[in-house]
Amino acid sequence: MAARASDTAILSAKPRKKPRIIVSKILMTLFFVMLAVAFVFPLYWMVISSLRPEGRIFVDAFDVFPSVLSLDSYRTLFEEEPFGRWMLNSVLQTGGFAITALFLCTTGGYALAKFRFRGRNLLFVLILVSQMIPFHLLIVSLFLMIIQLGMVESYWGAIIPIAASPIGIFFVRQYMLSIDDELLNAARVDGANEYQIFWSIVLPNARPAIATLFILFSLEYWNNLLWPLIVFRQAENMPLAVGVSRLVNQYRAQYDLVMAGSTLATIPIILLFLFLRRQVMEGLAATGTGMK
Amino acid sequence: MLKPVYTILNNKKVVPFVFLLPFMTVFLIFKVYPVITAVIMSFQNFQGIQSQEWVGLTNYQNVFDLVRFNQALTNTTAYTLGTLLVLIPLPLILAVLLDSGRVVQSTVFRTLLFLPALTSLVVTGTIFRLMLAENGFINLFLEATLGVRPLRWLEIADLALPSLIVVATWRWTGINILYFNSGLVNIPRELYEAATIDGANVFQLFWSITLPLLRPTTLFVVVLSIIGGYQVFVEPFIVYNGGGGPGDSALSMALLIYRTAFTSFNFGTAAAMGVILAAIIFVFSLIQFRFFGVFRQED
């Protein structure tokens, strides 16, 4: 998926006349600037709305660059809502989910990539088919199951039932196919057992895939609503997404709180993304196209 | 005592199963088993936790007799079609333009258009609930620029679908551009050069090279959008305050299932709705797999 030089695609394949090219370049870039402004604007609006003084959120709705800003909504959020708790829950649950899902997908993906065994193809198809099962078919059964297992209101109840990710295991398998068998066999000859090989050869060699998947799993859980919404009823156990969804229904009029909560749920992700941009974007593109 | 265990665990026939054990355990317990129980439940009168009895196809009959269900099915289908009409051509064209070499800093634009995909759907919903309010930004903007009188986006039934499509366009355009882009970079540039030498113009290049060679990607995105569209839940849940919108105009199938299960505690009916939703998605996914040939695995 190496990026191709930018002068290769269709429009520029035409024989060029210089001034025309420059004009069209300017117009085209201008068009995308406007488009980008339109797409980033709602995020800006979220932040700026969260900073408006109390009660000004609709009154000042056309004031794009407000001169008076206030952190009141953030203060209220932490003082009157368990918002700090929600953030902590989100961090812990997201980490727990990403690690659990990674453990399942790296071990399982390794087995699918590097071993031949009876029933492998059947398993492959089964996992693939499971991917098209809508989660809403499962919610009632899963809800009754976690009640019986005593996992309601627990982190594990939120994490385990959604941790066996079909896309994840395929992603790992695809990547691990490219690990040289000779490497593994050489270690076997040297007397390493299969688990040492997995730990000290396979995992280090799959590091880029693991890192990408860790990010994608984290993003998935951090932004997930439906399952944690079912698992958690107690405010002190909820992750951010559920907390904010509660706020938006609880405080129908208090949009400033909701916007502050939304901002705090989003900005860390965007900052993190700016550091890991390539990994996230290429990883997502690969989960889409890598399954062919 | 330890030695034989060690030998067995290191046996080449056993090893793959040991590695598969964690994934398969979770997969079978929390994915396969609940599907089976959900299907069974759909044939039972299952209210709350107690009292389940076989009722055959009654749940399904009830579901299809339910005005709300038919409304939800229509809404969801319309939403899915609407998002397809926007979220295939728009990102496709934008991806081609961004790849054309005529946009300065195209990676920056790809990144900026992608940012909405990082937000939680809850956040997406709260932002648009604020902006679509009667005295919200969108109305003020439309009034200032086009002189449109303020529309009650969230209160008029006919505006529910357009509102949700606007939300979807914001949230998914960037990621679809990403998919199309990864398809575009795999098209050999020689094809364009050869065709250009033969006198093809830009539009001919697009029609006869880009579109056909992008077919697998396009189909992938189409089916992904269909599967996602039919499962739409969070956006109406947040934008319309947990309800189905004015006159149930924003009631999606997933939202109805959630409410049937967790507001009415009518588990049997919810399960039947889930099976119907799964059947619809299954049909579209099979089409995908046929086109992508996933069943023709190597070896």
Whether residues A99 and A217 fall in one domain = yes
Residues 242-281 of B with CB under 8 A from A: 242, 253-254, 257-258, 261-262, 267, 270-271, 273-275, 277-278, 281
Compute the average pLDDT of residues B7-20.
88
Domains contained in chain A, number: 2
Give dist(CA A128, CA A150) in Å, integer: 30
Contacts of B86 in chain A (CB under 8 A): none
Helix (H, G, I), strand (E, B) or coil at B49: coil
Residue A168: closest C-alpha in chain B: B23
Residue A97 belongs to some domain of the structure: yes
Beta-carbon contacts of A218 under 8 Å, excluding residues fewer than 6 positions away, are A94, A95, A97, A98
Residue A9 belongs to some domain of the structure: no
Whether residues A101 and A197 fall in one domain = yes
> A125 and chain B: CB distance < 8 Å anywhere?
yes
Interchain proximity B202–A14, CB inside 8 Å: yes
Task: Report the CATH number at residue A174.
Answer: 1.10.3720.10
Residues 68-97 of A with CB under 8 A from B: none
The mean-pLDDT minimum among A174-178, B86-90, B230-234, B271-275 falls in: A174-178
Looking at the partner chain, which of A10, A115, A142 has a beta carbon nearest the beta carbon of B96?
Answer: A10
C-alpha Rg value of chain B to the nearest Å: 24
Whether residues A65 and A205 fall in one domain = no
- Boundary of a domain, candidates A58, A74, A90: A74
Contacts of B277 in chain A (CB under 8 A): 134, 136-137
- Boundary of a domain, candidates A7, A42, A74: A74
Residue A65 gets the label, from left (phi > 0), alpha (psi -120 to 50) or beta, of beta
Give dist(CA A11, CA A24) in Å, integer: 11
Judge whether A142 and B30 are in contact, CB under 8 Å. yes
Residue B11: closest C-alpha in chain A: A194
Whether residues A123 and A173 fall in one domain = yes
Residue A233: closest C-alpha in chain B: B262
Whether residues A169 and A224 fall in one domain = yes
Q: For residue B47, what pLDDT band results from cuts at 50, 70 and 90?
A: confident
Whether residues A83 and A53 fall in one domain = no
Residue A252: closest C-alpha in chain B: B241
Looking at the partner chain, which of B118, B127, B216 has a beta carbon nearest the beta carbon of A273?
Answer: B118
Q: What is the pLDDT of residue B270?
A: 94
Q: Which domains are present in chain B?
A: 68-123+156-292 (1.10.3720.10)
Helix, strand, coil abundance in chain B, percent, nearest 5? 75, 5, 25
Question: From residue A67, how far is each of A52, A63, A251, B141 by CA, in Å?
Answer: 9, 9, 26, 20
Residue A199: closest C-alpha in chain B: B19
Whether residues A161 and A201 fall in one domain = yes
Q: What percent of chain B has pLDDT over 70?
A: 94
> A101 and chain B: CB distance < 8 Å anywhere?
no
Whether residues A123 and A213 fall in one domain = yes
Interface test with B, best of A6, A10, A146 (most B CBs within 10 A): A10
Residue A8 belongs to some domain of the structure: no
Q: What is the pLDDT of residues B109-168, one digit of tens each?
A: 999 999 999 999 999 999 999 999 888 999 999 999 998 888 888 889 999 999 999 999
Residue B89's Cβ-count burial label (10 Å; 0-12, 13-18, 19+) is: exposed
Q: What is the pLDDT of residue B100?
A: 87
Q: For residue B48, what pLDDT band results from cuts at 50, 70 and 90?
A: low
For residue A38, pLDDT beyond 70: yes
Residue A279 belongs to some domain of the structure: yes
Whether residues A52 and A92 fall in one domain = no
Contacts of B259 in chain A (CB under 8 A): none
Structure tokens that stand for A289 in this block = 């196209």
| Summary mean pLDDT of chain A | 88
Whether residues A50 and A87 fall in one domain = no
Whether residues A107 and A198 fall in one domain = yes
For residue B247, pLDDT beyond 70: yes
Interchain proximity B100–A9, CB inside 8 Å: yes
Helix, strand, coil abundance in chain A, percent, nearest 5? 75, 0, 25
> A273 and chain B: CB distance < 8 Å anywhere?
yes
Residue A10 belongs to some domain of the structure: no
Residue A3 belongs to some domain of the structure: no
User: CA of A127 to nearest chain B CA: how many angstroms apart?
Assistant: 8
Helices and strands in chain A: count of H runs, count of E runs: 15, 0
Tell which wins on pLDDT, A279 or B260.
B260
Q: What is the pLDDT of residues B99-120, one digit of tens each?
A: 988 899 999 999 999 999 999 9
Interchain proximity B94–A35, CB inside 8 Å: yes
User: Where in the sequence is the domain holding A41, given as residue range(s)?
Assistant: 16-74
Compute the average pLDDT of residues A148-161.
95
Structure tokens that stand for B247 in this block = 């006159």
Whether residues A30 and A136 fall in one domain = no
- Boundary of a domain, candidates A74, A94, A123: A74
Q: Which uninterrupted H or E stretch holds B208?
A: none
> B236 and chain A: CB distance < 8 Å anywhere?
no
User: CA of B112 to nearest chain A CA: how many angstroms apart?
Assistant: 6
Residues 19-58 of B with CB under 8 A from A: 19-24, 26-27, 30-35, 37-38, 41, 49
Residue A134 belongs to some domain of the structure: yes
Structure tokens that stand for A28 in this block = 């085209």
Q: What is the pLDDT of residue A62?
A: 81
| Summary mean pLDDT of chain B | 89
